[in-house]
């Protein structure tokens, strides 16, 4: 009699067990009405994924100008001493062209503009004056737009001791000043140095005719300064 009763219980259990292919309805969660509608999860389309990914990449790549400037400003000891006046140090065993390449790249990252025209930078890379290396730290101090120097011929400027700076030093000073301030060392003028003139074009620093025998209000002089005074 006991065996029969067990068999009947097993039969009842087997009839209540769902088939393998049959889905068992989920019980409603606590405090949830049995007839409540469940919110569908938000759809994630390829566009949503792509937009989110791009936003994260853009955020990770964005760096402030100060983040781009600081290491180079410290490495080259760049200091601004007033409008159009700057000093920097070219470290021992570092050529000016190497300094220009590093500063130009940092300036582009910080300000979105090249300090030196790429074509001019390539030409200077083959110039012995720019590729020379000194065994000591070289201090460069420059006034890139000497007060009252515009409107004068080269001879008149040089009679006052101006234009007494080499192209290498003026290029380095311009690059350092632009990196530090985001501004033109020459104040928008054509700037004469010992044997020519430079101008800060939209595409970067490059040569410009200096019109030696004429004085124009947009042609200024560069001159050496002693930043330690």
Instruction: Indicate the pLDDT class of residue 173, thresholds 50, 70 and 90.
Output: very high
If residue 86 lies in a helix (H) or strand (E), which one and from where to where? strand 85-90
pLDDT at 45 over 50: no
The whole-angstrom separation of Cα 121 and Cα 206 is 9
Stronger pLDDT, 47 or 212, i.e. the higher one = 212
In angstroms, how far apart are the furthest CA atoms of the chain? 132
Is residue 19 assigned to a domain?
no
Q: Select, from the ranges 21-25, 33-37, 164-168, the one with the highest average predicted confidence (pLDDT).
A: 164-168
Give the CA radius of gyration of the chain.
36
76 found inside a domain: yes
Q: Could you tell me if 84 and 166 are in contact, meaning their C-beta atoms sit under 8 angstroms apart? A: no
Does a structural domain hold residue 145?
yes
Task: List, in sequence order, every residue forming a beta bridge with 191; answer none if it has no partner.
Answer: 198, 220
Compute the average pLDDT of residues 112-140: 97
| Exposure of 93 in the CB half-sphere (CA atoms within 13 A) | 0
Does residue 216 fall inside a structural domain? yes
Question: What is the spatial distance between Cα 156 and Cα 154, in angstroms, rounded to a whole number?
Answer: 5
Structural domain containing residue 138 = 65-224
Whether 27 is in a domain gets the answer: no
pTM: 0.72
How much is the average pLDDT of 167-186? Answer: 98
Domain-embedded: residue 10: no
Using pLDDT thresholds of 50, 70 and 90, give the confidence band for residue 8.
Answer: very low
Does residue 22 sit within a domain? no
* pLDDT of the residue at 106: 95
Q: Which of 207, 209, 191, 204 is nearest to 117 (CA)?
A: 204
pLDDT at 228: 72
Report the number of distinct structural domains present in the chain: 1
């Amino acid at each position: 009699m006991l065996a029969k009763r067990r068999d009947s219980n097993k039969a009842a259990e087997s009839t209540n067990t769902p088939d393998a292919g049959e889905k068992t309805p989920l019980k409603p969660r606590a405090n949830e009405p049995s007839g409540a509608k469940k919110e569908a999860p938000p759809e994630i389309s390829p566009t949503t994924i792509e937009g989110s990914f791009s936003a994260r990449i853009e955020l990770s790549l964005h760096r402030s100008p100060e983040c781009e400037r600081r290491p180079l400003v410290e490495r080259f000891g760049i200091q601004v001493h007033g409008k159009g006046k700057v000093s920097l140090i070219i470290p021992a065993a570092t050529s000016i062209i190497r300094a220009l390449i590093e500063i130009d790249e940092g300036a582009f990252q910080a300000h979105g503009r090249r300090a030196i025209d790429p074509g001019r930078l390539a030409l200077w890379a083959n110039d012995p004056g720019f590729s020379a290396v000194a065994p000591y730290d070289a201090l460069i101090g420059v006034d890139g737009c000497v007060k009252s120097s515009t409107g004068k011929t080269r001879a008149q400027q040089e009679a006052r001791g101006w234009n007494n700076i080499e192209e290498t030093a003026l290029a380095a000073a311009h690059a350092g000043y632009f990196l530090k301030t985001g501004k033109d060392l020459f104040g928008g003028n054509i700037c004469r140095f010992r044997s020519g003139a430079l101008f800060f074009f939209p595409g970067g620093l490059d040569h410009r005719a200096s019109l030696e025998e004429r004085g124009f209000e947009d042609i200024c002089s560069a001159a050496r300064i002693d930043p330690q005074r």
